Every structure is written in C-alpha cells, then in structure tokens.
Chain A
C-alpha cells in the first residue's frame, strides 16, 4: 500500500514576537481525512499556529505546505481559495448580517460575479445568486440552524454562533477545516452536538485540524494529537499514546487526569 501524501505539512516552523518564541521549530503533518487535534496549555502557540496556516501572520522561519505546495507568505484570501477554511476562538461573525447572509459570504470564494456584472445584473448573476443561496441553506442545515436563517447573527446564542462559524467555513468548500476551540463556552449537550457535526464533516471528506481544551471531546473524536508547550512539540500520537505520555501529563494534563 502506498502511503498518501500529507495534506498539510509544517517543517521547522518558527514564529517570534519580539523576544517571545511563540512557535519553535515545529514539525508536524496532517494526513487527508484525519481529525487531528492540537492541544496544550494557554499560550502554547496554538492560535498562532492557526493564524500562520491561514496567512494572517507570516512565519519567522520554516515552511508550510498544503497539498505539497508551499503556502507561507500567501494572502489570507488566496489561502481560502486554495481550500483552507477556519473558525475563530473568539467568535468573528458578521454581526451586521443575518445568519443566512453570513453563510452566503462563505460562498464568496467559490463565486466570481464582480462589481460591474452585479451592478448591471448581467446574465448569470441571478443563477449564481440562486446557487449561493441554495448552498448556504444546505450548510445551515448541516449544523441545524435553518430556523435561525433570517435572524441577525449577533442575536443568536453563543452555542449557535459557534455552529454558524462552522457552517460559514464549510460554505467555502474547504479541503482542510481549522476549528479554533469549537467547544469553548458550550454546555455538555452542545459539545456532543458539535462532536457529531465534526464527525459528519470528516465523513464528507474534509480533513479537520482542531485546537481544543475540552479533553473528552479531543480524546473521543481525534485520530491523532499534537501537544504543544511554549511553542514546542512535546508529543504526538494517538489519543491512547498521549494519555499515557509522561511529558504530556507533566506539561498539560496534570495529575487530575481520570483516564486510568
């Protein structure tokens, strides 16, 4: 059997903010179809890693390859076009728009009507608009927010805002979806629902990379886990391996761990 190529590969990735080493020579791979988790204490460099992958921050050194092609230094909108989408740790919705419109913005990258075409309503605009609407409704349905479609996004409860971010990211047709703490601020029922949705997304062929503090969620859905501490990789492996790793227990999981 031929081993498949990684969909995302970071090698000797490094990010320095002034004197602070946020990420230190990080190497890791994400294989297609995986759910991979990045865990670690606060300030370990997890969100910085996401910001580098999505082009919001340039790395200080090292490379990131997506589907074999180097993507560091590319603009965020180009990276979205290439097939990487994300959600945000602190919800970044378009609060001035409705729930449905938020998801429709996600279709932006897969559509192309420009200023003049839309201003003149040239042929094709209406068709594309209908296509945008249909896909957006489909994605809303996946996360179960159809009944909220026409409410202002800023008005729905936090749990649903998190789901809305997932739907919006899905609307870009990503091959790799980055979820930054999807369970933060959710209650137990909502976390279960989020886990189900993440599994469903993986089944549809999308690779998922997530940052999460909620250990039950991470351990139950991930195929593979990377543990960061002070920007360095402490361990990498399956949930079973990570639970037993002493360095991980020292750095992060602590003595309270109940997975004995």
Chain B
C-alpha cells in the first residue's frame, strides 16, 4: 500500500492506542467510539463513490440491518453475538447483491434511486414489525460484547475494540486501492470504454465494491447495537444515509483518509456546537457550506494542497 500510507496507519494506530491513557472521560471516549463506527461505514462508501463512482442513498439501511440482526437475534432468540453478527453480514450481502446485480449492469445513477427506495423499505420494516423489532419505540436490552468471558463493556475497552476493527478495515481498503482491483476501479473512473478494452469487467467490479461497502455498514451496525444496547428506527433513516454521504464529500471522495477525516469532523461538529444553543443548526450549515466553498474537493485534499503550498512558500 505504499510507504506513506503505511507510516500514516502506524501513526494513527499509536495515537489511538495512547488516547485512553490521556482522556479518561467517558463522554470523549464515546464520541471517539461513534467516530470509529461512522468511519467504518464511510470508508466503504468512499470506496463506492470515490473509486467505483456510484452513489448510495441507502447505507443507513445496511447499518440498520447489521444493528437489528445483532439486536433481535441476541435479545429475542438468544443467539450468540458472533452468530448474530454473521447473520447480519449475510443478510446485508444478499440484499446488496439483489440491488446491485440488476442496477449496476446499467450505466448511470440507477443505484442511487434503487438504494433510496431500499432504504425507505427497510425503515418501514423496522417501524412496522412490532413483534420483532419493537417498532418505533425501539429494541432495548441488547447485551454488551464479550469474548471468552472477557466483557467489552467499559468505555476504553469498547474504544479499543471499535478502533481495532476500523484500522483493520482501513488497511484492507488501502490494500484494495493499491492493487489490481483499485487500479481497475480508477481506470473505470478515467475512461470506461478504455477500461473495458483493457479487459476490465466494469459491472462486476462495481457490484463487488457495493457489496463490500454494505458489509462495512453491517459490521458498523453490530458494533453500534452492542455499544448503545438500545436501537430504534430513527438511527437508520434516510437522513442518516445522507449524513454519511456528507461525511464522504466533506472529507473528500476518492481518498480513504478523507473518509476518516469526514467521519471525525461531522461526528464532532454537532457536539462542539452545543454552546450555540438554538443557533447550532445554523452554524452547522454555514460551516459545511464554507468547507465545500473553499475546499470543493474535500478537507483532505484541501489540507494536502495547502501543505504543499506552505512548503513552497517557506
């Protein structure tokens, strides 16, 4: 994946590794946990948008499928956490294939429309299947994660669990980008007709990346459900799908590091704007607009550009 990326992953791992030693507050740890969970979904979305050039408006639904599978199967059926986790992944993959195979064989943004509909259907199902999901009032009592008798209940323990998963998926994503598959995806972005002439099976790769991104979201869903131990449909609505897209755009599509940055900023921002009380939404909007106005290619690209500019200047 290249020396620079390797170094960056190393530094990130160290920083995260020592974080709980300095920050003891459960509040800050839980924000970091939410950033990790969001980052997992946004990395998948970034592969889909920035590399396969497709937009999904339904990733909150895959997030929800992961969360509800974990929740329902452990609470109602008493299945083990690991079994429930894999059921969620399996269901997400099947759903993703069912959407992707017909839509991604077509050219154009059919995927966006299909996932928009899919997200709404899943949202309605979460609300209406009262017996199973608990309906609008949600599902509570989801057990915390424990492996071999070791419980991941405490803030810092869960922090390490989430970020270990996130960093493994980060490495997985970076490996893909710097490989034959990543090159093929970028080629499709550059010229679809030339990519085909070089033997790239364009629709096959688009389908694979979409399924992969659904899988990321499902993993994040499981981590979310066992952390908050209570889930309700509103966490998996269209608004959340759009928020996740915003994280990709703000961070910068076409860069996994941008995805991490976007997830971080848009998770922290609403929290840090509490001081503005009633005006927080207004300030939030202004900040987002300013970012897109001054860094249309996202914060990551914007920061790299200004870093190069400063190096030249001094």
A interface vs B, CB < 8 Å?
54-56, 75-77, 80-81, 85-86, 88, 92-97, 101, 104-109, 111, 113-115, 118-121, 125, 128-129, 132, 168-169, 171-172
Shortest CB-to-CB span from A210 to chain B, Å, is 16
Q: How far is the CB of B186 from chain A (nearest CB, A)?
A: 6
Residue B181, interface by CB 8 Å: yes
Which residues of A sit under 8 angstroms from B193, Cβ to Cβ? 56, 76, 88, 92
In the assembled complex, the Cα of A228 lies from the Cα of B200 at a distance in Å of 31
User: A80, B180: Cβ atoms under 8 Å?
Assistant: no
The residue in chain A whose Cβ has the minimal distance to the Cβ of B211 is: A115
Say yes or no for B140: interface residue by CB 8 A criterion: no
Closest residue of chain B to A128, judged by CB? B180
Name the interface residues of B208-251: CB closer than 8 Å to any CB of A. 208-209, 212
In Å, the complex CA distance between A54 and B195 comes to 12
A119 to B199, CA, bound (A): 21
CB-CB under 8 A for A96 and B190, given A113-B179, A118-B181: yes
Is B194 in contact with A115, judged by CB distance below 8 angstroms?
no
Q: Among residues 165 to 200 in chain B, which have CB atoms less than 8 Å away from a CB atom of chain A?
A: 172-173, 175-176, 179-184, 186-187, 189-191, 193-200
Q: How many A-B residue pairs have CB under 8 A?
A: 107
Could you tell me the distance in whole angstroms from the C-beta of B176 to the nearest C-beta in chain A? 5
Cβ-defined contact, A77 with B190, below 8 A: no
Interface contact B199-A109, CB-CB below 8 Å: yes
Residue from B191, B200, B212 within 8 A of A93 (CB atoms): B191
Contacts of A125 in B (CB 8 A): 179
* Sampled A-B contacts (23; CB under 8 Å): A54-B197, A75-B201, A77-B196, A77-B199, A77-B202, A88-B193, A94-B186, A94-B194, A95-B191, A97-B186, A97-B190, A105-B184, A105-B195, A105-B198, A105-B200, A106-B198, A107-B180, A108-B199, A115-B208, A118-B182, A119-B172, A119-B175, A169-B197
Contacts of A77 in B (CB 8 A): 196, 199-202
Tell me the smallest distance from the CB of A240 to a CB of chain B, in Å: 33
Most chain A beta carbons < 10 A, residue from B173, B194, B208, B212: B194
* Contact between B190 and A93, CB atoms less than 8 A apart: yes
State the main secondary structure of chain B at its contact with A: helix
Given contacts A97-B190, A129-B179, contact A172 B198 (CB under 8 A): yes
B199 lies within 8 A of A94 (CB):
no
Known: A77-B199, A77-B201. A88 touches B194 (CB 8 A): yes
Minimum C-beta distance from A21 to chain B (A): 24
Give CA–CA (A97, B184) in the complex, Å. 11
The winner among A75, A94, A96, A104 for most chain B CB atoms within 10 A is A94
Given contacts A108-B180, A132-B180, contact A94 B191 (CB under 8 A): yes
Q: Which residues on the A side are within 8 Å of B195 (C-beta)?
A: 94, 105
The distance in angstroms between the C-alpha atoms of A107 and B193, with both chains bound, is 16
Complex Cα distance A118/B175, Å?
6
Q: Is the CB–CB distance between A80 and B181 below 8 Å?
A: no
Chain B residues whose CB sits within 8 angstroms of the CB of A171 once the complex forms: 198
Are A94 and B176 touching (Cβ within 8 A)? no
* Selected contact of B175 from candidates A92, A105, A120, CB within 8 Å: A120
Cβ contact within 8 Å between B194 and A80: no
| Smallest CB separation, B52 vs chain A (Å) | 11
Is the beta-carbon distance between B176 and A118 smaller than 8 angstroms?
yes
CA distance A114 to B182 in the complex (A): 10
Question: Which residues of B have CB within 8 Å of A114?
Answer: 181, 208
Write out the residue numbers on chain B whose beta carbons fall within 8 Å of the beta carbon of A115.
176, 181, 208-209, 212
Task: Give the 3 A-B CB pairs with smallest separation, nearest first.
Answer: A109-B199, A94-B190, A118-B179
Cβ–Cβ contact B176 & A80, under 8 A: no
B172–A113 CB distance below 8 A = no
Which A residues are CB-close (under 8 A) to B201?
75, 77
A108 near B184: Cβ-Cβ < 8 Å = yes
User: How far is it, in angstroms, between the C-alpha of A105 and the C-alpha of B179 when the chains are bound?
Assistant: 10
Do the beta carbons of A172 and B199 come within 8 Å of each other?
Answer: yes
Task: Tell me, in angstroms, the Cα distance from A120 to B171 when the chains sit together.
Answer: 8
CA distance A18 to B200 in the complex (A): 30
Query: Given the complex of chains A and B, what is the CA–CA distance between A105 and B190 in angstroms?
Result: 11
Chain B 2-41, CB-CB to A under 8 Å as 1, else 0, gives 0000000000000000000000000000000000000000
How long is the Cα–Cα vector from A76 to B192 in the complex, in angstroms? 11
How long is the Cα–Cα vector from A118 to B51 in the complex, in angstroms? 15
Residues of B within 8 A of A85 (CB): 197-198
Q: Once the chains bind, are B189 and A96 in contact (CB under 8 Å)?
A: yes
